[in-house]
Amino acid sequence: MQHGRTTLSKFIIEEHRRHPAQDEQLAALVNDIQTACKYIGARVARGALDGAIGAAGMKNVQGETQQKLDVISNEIMLACCEWGGQLAGMVSEELEHAYEIPSGYPRGRYLLLFDPLDGSSNIDVNVTVGTIFSVLMAPPGVTEPTVEDFLQPGTAQVCAGYALFGPADMIVLTLGRGVHGFTLDPEIGAYILTHPDLRISEETREFAINASNMRYWEPPVQRYVDECLEGKAGPRQTDFNMRWIASLVAEVHRILMRGGVFMYPKDKKDPAKPGRLRLLYEANPMAMLVEQAGGRASTGRGRILEVQPEALHQRVPVILGSRREVERIEHYHCEFDRGAGERFDSPLFNTRSLFRAAH
């Protein structure tokens, strides 16, 4: 064990000293969140040993089957964060309505929105899962927030992050000044700063999408994936790798570590749903992280962080990752919406060379 390394608690305190506008309530809230993540990580690790693997026999507000660990993780997050006096209210993927802070606890100036266990449908096969969280300011003077108080665009977030429960447990977060990764040291029970100032490469040769939905994709997405799959023989003139983990935290973490693009786009599988991922506690926090790391996060037709929420569990399309690839996909959507279907051919997005390849 190395002494003197920066723990997450120390990092938060130092950030508060450097940036006084970040108040002590936010620092205390992040500490409560990291405590919750330690508890959740321990329960995930003991899943089968504690009989916590499998369905809980209930459905959440989205009609999805809840796993036992979904329920356990939700209860842990609520219990760890409700008492400290930093929050006016919470929103969870597992609860239909906003969670009211019990009357016996003081109220604070922040709102917490979270997915307690992202990727839990794959927990039985030991795939990396995690917790996603977003922090907003409550409107001035509000101690009993209404639904409308939570419906703030992603640009209003003051903190966002996720915990990763895998080969090594981690917390990756942003306070609006870059993205930093902390790895849990089991010897001392503390998250240690191991990945400061994470940056996403602008270019990539790796993409992630659920190819089983190919027949439902819109033409711009189909066009982009087709070009990637054509590899060196196609217009991109380079080979791509395709990935799909079906765990948002794992997908975004891979992109932060080595670049790439993740797509869960709008499709025609269920026309009533404009997208699959929830805006407030999945898309927005991940978009903030990606943008803070130099990447781009889009619905395909606009910046995710600028989407005005209309409901607590609103869904949106999500395309995020390396900036130039996301810009290319956005351009394809723009061309499609204008009625133009030609391949996009620009030197900016082609393999860099003094000479253009012959066609």
Annotated binding residues, as ranges?
A: 93, 115, 117-121, 210, 282
3-state secondary structure of 191: strand
- Using DSSP bridges, classify how beta strands 99-100 and 65-67 pair: parallel, antiparallel or unpaired: unpaired
3-state secondary structure of 133: strand
Binding annotation for substrate: 118-121, 210
Q: How far apart are CA 233 and CA 211, in angstroms?
A: 21
Find out whether 243 and 260 touch, Cβ atoms under 8 Å: yes
Binding annotation for Mg(2+): 93, 115, 117-118, 282
Q: How far apart are CA 260 and CA 206, in angstroms?
A: 5
Q: Which two tokens stand for residue 141?
A: 């003077």
Task: List Cβ neighbours of 194 (8 Å cut-off, separation of 6 or more).
Answer: 170, 181, 182, 183
- Using alpha carbons only, what angle is made at residue 173 by residues 137 and 97, rounded to the nearest 5 degrees? 45
Q: Would you say the C-alpha torsion 11, 12, 17, 22 has a positive or negative sign?
A: positive
